[in-house]
A and B are shown apart, each in its own frame.
Chain A
Amino acid sequence: DQQVKQNSPSLSVQEGRISILNCDYTNSMFDYFLWYKKYPAEGPTFLISISSIKDKNEDGRFTVFLNKSAKHLSLHIVPSQPGDSAVYFCAAFDSGTYKYIFGTGTRLKVLA
């Protein structure tokens, strides 16, 4: 039962171009969404979040878009840099149970 899905296991993008990572969820009770970045041998690092009352949140090169009707969110990185190469996890927070539900991750590779 995958409540949070990241259907693309990997993505390659040229340096300087836009990276778009996608995430779909099934539970309409989720009210907060987060993106984490994970480098090998390290724990996930918080990147950016969005509340369900918003449809966009921007922080520097990172923008998260939320489409509640489609139960879809995306992370845009522009311009992409080689240091952005990592695994990106989408997570949804269920405020009813105080649980984070993570997606399976998308491995982003930014090519120099």
Chain B
Amino acid sequence: DGGITQSPKYLFRKEGQNVTLSCEQNLNHDAMYWYRQDPGQGLRLIYYSQIVNDFQKGDIAEGYSVSREKKESFPLTVTSAQKNPTAFYLCASSIRPGTKNIQYFGAGTRLSVL
């Protein structure tokens, strides 16, 4: 089945630790996105990638890093510089870049700080 797979489903971070969230898609989509959702709030864009080997900062990129070495994969690293990382992280993809194209989401990763 085609889709977007995020792992792990739950992740715990210790102080000063970097953690990486995985996002893989087999939809052959060009564009991929990372969002953060806090309770009672809308999704906020962290980073997005329109094509392999290219990515742009979203609205809240500080403390995060990404890579896009393969079309299928867009991992997100939450660095120790992100002081409030506890949130629900959602990866999405769309067939092409641009806001006319529907974004499809993975099941998300819940990150908590120990």
Chain A complexes with chain B: no
